[in-house]
Amino acid sequence: MARHLITSAIPYINGIKHLGNLVGSQLPADLYARYCRARGHEVLFLCATDEHGTPAELAAAKAGQPVAEYCAEMHAVQAKLAEGFRLSFDHFGRSSSPQNHRLTQAFAKSLDEAGLIREVSETQMYSPQDGRFLPDRYIEGTCPNCGFESARGDQCDNCTKQLDPVDLIEPRSTISGATNLEMRETKHLFLRQSAMKDDLEAWIDTKTDWPVLTTSIAKKWLNDGDGLQDRGITRDLDWGVPVQRDDAPWPGMEGKVFYVWFDAPIEYIACAQEWEEAGKGTDWARWWRTDKGADDVRYTQFMGKDNVPFHTLSFPATILGSGEPWKLVDYIKSFNYLNYEGGQFSTSRGRGVFMDQALEILPPDYWRWWLLSHAPESNDAEFTWENFQTSVNKDLADVLGNFASRVTKFCRSKFGEEVPAGGTFGDRERQLVADLSAKIAEYEAQMEAIEVRKAAAALRAAWVLGNEYLQEAAPWSTFKEDPETAAMQIRLGLNLIRLYAVISAPFIPDASAQLLGAMKAEGADWPSDLDSDLQALVPGHIFAVPDVTFRKIGDAEREDWQARFSGRR
């Protein structure tokens, strides 16, 4: 049994996330966590809401609420949606927690004592119209590197180049649209990332198994232009972790807070502390400190490609620079973007499907299956309603759902609602066992490698093998001449339903639970020997015919959804 620490990028607090956000971090992380648990491993799966920074302040102001109240309310909303999608977090924390406040301040102190923090007097963008300094992400303009017209003050989402607001051509405030921005002097703390460049490069070079997407982005940031730059870790804001040392104001930093990119990744660790203090587990340190037993933990992070630079460079610089025995990430699974019907998801225009809307129209397994089987791993992916309809109807309804329905209904009509006796495996059945063993081994290998789309394809292929067997064996025809053999064939079919429910649970947990419940096989273990696993439901075992596991999506409702979420209304 191995120990797996799993984190997904923590979603920002300001609003409900769309399906692209979901498949870029939380959903594949849940898939892997469920798989690891099913294989008997010890898992700690953590996530949280990212609650600090100007976006939270602005969203709260728009909602007419104090920012703390707004964040508490939105945390509850996001937690409920996570539950709706069956995301199996061991704890869903908050970056505004007291634990994260204390830990962020402790990391800053350690970094300062190691000589890795410097105080900088600098000029920053100030908007007289807004009456405030503008955080980098609230300044937009044209990227000087690629010409993208909506580059942010910290990074261009088009070419991923790291930027400063002064680099932008024709910068503007995203709060008010003001262009009469001016530079004013202020003091801030900077993390000396440049001093960590060699250590970070050496560490990254050891990660030969990382996805190309992850490594290429990390090395681009390391070596692009002048190389890794020092980065401000404080901001002139009211809402956030106060800049303090030993519970006292940091001299010269009064009234400032730590920048959200600095405190947000630290929440991964604080979340484990919250988990323990909430009474959900014990000894958080054995997951996070190598002097407390975390040296045998396999730590995997899941995130969209826009988060890769902070998790391959800035957060590791914080960990390494502290000089303390914290656990570093072992594997970073990064994802490209999911686009929507030839464009991008847009909250403002109502374009695309958001998590709450998705659950209003279909149960979570429909979405989980499509998103994971089309995960944007090697390239950006595209959601279209036609593709979604086809995948649901063919994969879920026709292949898996139809198999369970045909087997159970035929058995009920000919043998009653119990597993029938009679007959032994022949050549066809032995070949099916061999083919399934190979396909499940492939599925397991892809899951171990966190190749999400390939794992989904292998799982579907395993479902197809059962359907092909059923068509070839044709127990409804065999029954007329040889009821004993038909009984064996349908008994094998019932055991296949049990098997499919077990191995499909990481992808479609609700359907898995439904089928296991119908087979009266709750708690069934992951298959280890198909010869015995496919005879686990013995003659006389009672079962029930399940309700429709997956219904088909009709053309009319697909067209209605296509219009409803087009952003044109």
143 known ligand binder: yes
**AA letter at 323:** G
Using CA atoms, how far apart are residues 240 and 267, in angstroms rounded to an integer? 13
Do residues 60 and 66 make contact, with C-beta atoms less than 8 angstroms apart? yes
Name 468's Cβ contacts closer than 8 Å, sequence gap at least 6: none
SS (H, E, C) 35-51: HHHHCCCEEEEEEEEEC
Query: Does residue 36 have a known ligand-binding role?
Result: no
SS (H, E, C) 512-558: HHHHHHHCCCCCCCCCCCHHHHCCCCCCCCECCCCCCCCCCCCHHHH
Indicate left, alpha or beta for 126 from its phi (over 0: left) and psi (-120 to 50: alpha).
beta
Dist CA 401 CA 548 (whole Å): 7
Structure tokens belonging to residue 426? 């022949």
State the pairing for strand pair 42-49/3-8.
parallel
Please state, in angstroms and rounded to a whole number, the distance separating the CA atoms of residues 471 and 188. Answer: 70
* 162 beta partners: 155
Confirm whether residue 156 is marked as ligand binding: yes
Q: List all residues 6 or more positions away from 160 whose beta carbon is below 8 Å from its beta carbon.
A: 217, 220, 221, 305, 306, 309
Q: Cβ distance 237 to 54 under 8 Å? A: yes
Exposed/middle/buried for residue 72 (C-beta within 10 Å: 0-12, 13-18, 19+): middle
120 DSSP 8-state letter: E
Query: Cβ distance 120 to 187 under 8 Å?
Result: yes
13 CB burial (10 A radius; 0-12, 13-18, 19+): buried
Q: Is 347 annotated as a binding residue?
A: yes
Treating both helix axes as pointing N-terminal to C-terminal, what angle do 260-277 and 315-322 enclose, rounded to 10 degrees?
Answer: 70
d(C-alpha 173, C-alpha 152), whole Å: 10
Annotated binding-site members for Zn(2+): 143, 146, 156, 159
Annotated binding-site members for ATP: 347
Annotated binding-site members: 143, 146, 156, 159, 347
